[in-house]
Amino acid sequence: MSLDLSNYELLWPAELLASEGERILRTSDSSWADRATWLITEALAGTTAVADFKELPDHDPPTDDPWLSTTPGWGGRAGMGKREWFTGLVNRAGELRHATAPRPYWPQRRGSGLSHDGSTTRDTRRDFAQIVGEFEDKGYLVEVFGEECVDDHSELPDACEVIDRRLGIPDLWPLAPETWDEDTFYGLIEVFHDLVSRPRMRRYHRYSDCGHHYGEFHNGPARVLYRWKVNQLLRSAGIEYELATEGEDLGRLVAVTDDARSQLVHRTLTDSPSDTTAGVRHAIALFRSRDTSAEGKRSAIFNLARILEERRALIKEHLHTKDEGALFQIANNFDLRHSNAGQQREYDEAFLDWIFWWYLATVELTNRLIASRTPASALRINLESRVRNP
């Protein structure tokens, strides 16, 4: 019986559900079903999927059982046990649709809908505080803030001090978004990226109705989910920053670029040889920092130019002499690498953006040349095109 996914909606990136689910399926002890229940509770909207999972038998029925009912139930679960159902969900995570906000209702369509505070504009800072509140409710801050228990009278860490030690600003917990200036808001976005940690297990403490307690924390999946949610919020608010998903500046706010340049950054970070990885990571971090300056961009270009200088023989092998010379002429004759009276200094800062992406594209291309060792004739046209039209 094929699993029917039509009643389930994702609250997570599909890749994260798949990776965490695959980890659970590698677990052979009896707690795997509890872990799966917690994952489904977190990753899918509503209670439908959890209810479907709990109704299934603990063991998959034999497929040759003559008495097995063939009448499909909700979710196409007939004849399935918990592990088979969960395996199907994990393997087909990419087919699940994401939960979306409902279509606008009458007041919103007529422009008369108000937010809770009476304003007509969306408060991004309040929305961010709500995201953090959701992470807190699901135990993602327990590892750093601790949790109360009727059987444990230990003193909990001071959440204000935890944040203050990192950000240098006191009294930020509980969150009060109406008091934040822009630097505090952006700083908190970066701080909570480093604080969240996903509990892969939870148990309910019944004594005095104490509540859920969390354990087996891992910050990797938590930070993936946090970046995904916060970047969605920033994008919807029209804020031109996002949390970096890789590189030296992982988890820090960086300037948003188009998809093609984002893919170029990803390829260069992923494919650079070990002897140049640090230089590439540093150059990218310098260039796309939220508070980067013209000097920071020049430093980023300098780092890339140094890598290309080390590969000059390779570039000369695949380019005509004039093209190879032009590549380095810009770095040498403009105020980028060396400082002398003969250099060109009067040019728009947009020039720095252009030269950075040109050099980064050339680094990426030389990475591929090094990796493939393809004959020069096969890649000459591509390399010339990249240098002239980055």
pTM value surpassing 0.85: no
Compute the distance between CA of residue 278 and CA of residue 134 in angstroms, rounded to an integer: 36
Here the tokens at position 80 are 């399935």
Here the tokens at position 318 are 């695949």
Here the tokens at position 149 are 């228990």
Q: Which sequence spans correspond to the domains of the chain?
A: 9-98, 123-236, 249-388
CB atoms within 10 A of CB 289: 18
pLDDT digits (tens, 9 = 90+) for 318-358: 775 565 666 677 766 665 544 544 455 556 778 889 999 99
pLDDT digits (tens, 9 = 90+) for 51-96: 999 999 988 766 555 544 444 444 555 579 999 999 999 999 999 9
Nearest C-alpha neighbor of 296 from the set 308, 284, 307: 284
In the three-class reduction of DSSP (H, G, I as helix; E, B as strand; rest coil), residue 168 is classed as coil
Q: Three-state SS string across 261-287, please?
A: HHHHHHHHHHHCCHHHHHHHHHHHHHH
Compute the distance between CA of residue 277 and CA of residue 307 in angstroms, rounded to an integer: 10
In the three-class reduction of DSSP (H, G, I as helix; E, B as strand; rest coil), residue 213 is classed as strand
Q: Are 78 and 69 in contact (CB under 8 A)?
A: yes
Task: Say which amino acid occupies 126.
Answer: R
pLDDT digits (tens, 9 = 90+) for 168-186: 999 999 999 999 999 999 9
